[in-house]
Amino acid sequence: MKVSGTIRVPGDKSISHRSLILSALAEGESVVSGILDSEDVRSTAGVLAALGADIPPFSDTMCVRGKGLRSLRQSRKPLDCGNSGTTTRLMAGVVAAHPFSATFVGDASLSRRPMKRVSEPLTYMGARVEFEHGDGLPMTIHGVDLRSIDWDTRAASAQVKSAILLAGLVSGVEVRVTEKSPSRDHTERMLRAMGVDVENDRNQICLRPARRLTPVDIAVPGDPSSAAFFVALAALASSGDLRLTEVCLNPTRTGFIEALRRMGAAVAADRIVSRAGEEVGDVRIEPARLNGTRVTGEQVPALIDELPLLACVAAGAGVELEITGAAELRVKESDRINTVVQNLRAVGASADELPDGLRVTPGRRDLAGSIDPRGDHRIAMAFGVLSAATGNRITVQNPECVAVSYPGFWNDLRRVTAA
């Protein structure tokens, strides 16, 4: 397979969510350009609008007129978060600091995902949280004036950390969060760009009270999790090269690139600049002979979303891969450990589940068959890459599920492999 071309992947999903939330809480007009127009981000926009925020229609350049930290109003209907865990958990922190109640609902997949991890710290801060069954959605939060907190997440979760930071921000209290290892820090970077005193000291984050958020212009860079699919594709190709432009190169998000480099991939970054506290640059990838590798718990947070793709890369390259310390994968949009392993076996690859990860071992290279991503966008795209790299004999069921994060994925995939 030959690859060629230049791609500007869609805007970063994490930054897109946060740009809408923080712009709505600022005082004045923020201009957001390059936002990801996807189902997940639209869920955040819909929840904010239901709470009275002035969210304009999606476009390349959106002007969000914020009304202040405690400007949201009670919704007359449940807050529909669709499939978006980010929407649910971050907005839970915002709502908990407002003097009203709100019920969060979502689709069947989201409703199965655990919310106790975010309800616990918010309850400790003074909010009251109710579940109809277990610790999934529907979830009702009764907001109050929250108190300060010093919370150990006992894991690396950017969503839980961000929920606590946003709760402290809106309530005007100091909050501290300690993580087992550093997670994505987009919330802290954007808050600092908007004038908030946020300190990161290795695994501890401290937010001090702020009176207001200063509106800023946010140019959303390309999503490294979306770029990863084409980094993998080019690494598995037989010839050619790809350039990915304006990709977010935040160090907490480049774990997949680092893992591929350990495997021998030829990946280089250039034209690096800083925008609103985020490193942004171009990435160029050429085919290479890959070797096996291991991913351990301390490395997992920086590539948690790309682990299914890494498993497909190992299967396509015919090399060994072992992933441990990634139990979080079992409570994503699907049980990604089980889903990946079962689908790799379905196309003839050799893979096994581990309690907190998986193992891929060298096996057949003539992979073929049909896979069921179980509605999980990242699984669908990972196997789309594996199919393109191994002769297009793998059929992905329900391919439209990629619209959650990358609506144009299949078109981009066809374009760079058309030669």
Residues involved in catalysis: 305
Please name the residue that has the structure tokens 């497909």: 312
Contact present, 190 and 276 (Cβ < 8 Å): yes
335-339's contacts with Cβ under 8 Å and 24+ in sequence apart are 336/307, 336/308, 336/376, 336/378, 336/379, 339/308, 339/373, 339/374, 339/376, 339/379
What φ, ψ does residue 81 adopt, rounded to 5°?
A: -95, 5
Tokens of 37: 């127009």
Q: What is the identity of the amino acid at 321? A: L
The Cα-based distances of 378 to 113, 214, 336 in angstroms read 16, 35, 9
Give me the residues paired with residue 201 across strands.
204
382's enclosing H/E stretch is helix 377-389
Spell out a b/e string for 387-405, using b for 16 or more CB atoms within 10 Å of the CB, else e: bbbbeeebebeebebbebb
CA distance 334 to 89: 17
CA distance 236 to 2: 10
Give me the residues paired with residue 102 across strands.
141
In the three-class reduction of DSSP (H, G, I as helix; E, B as strand; rest coil), residue 36 is classed as: coil
CA distance 338 to 334: 8
- Distance linking the first and last C-alpha atoms of the chain: 9
What φ, ψ does residue 395 adopt, rounded to 5°?
A: -100, 130
CB 264: neighbour CB atoms within 10 A?
15
What φ, ψ does residue 251 adopt, rounded to 5°?
A: -60, -25
Residues in the chain: 419
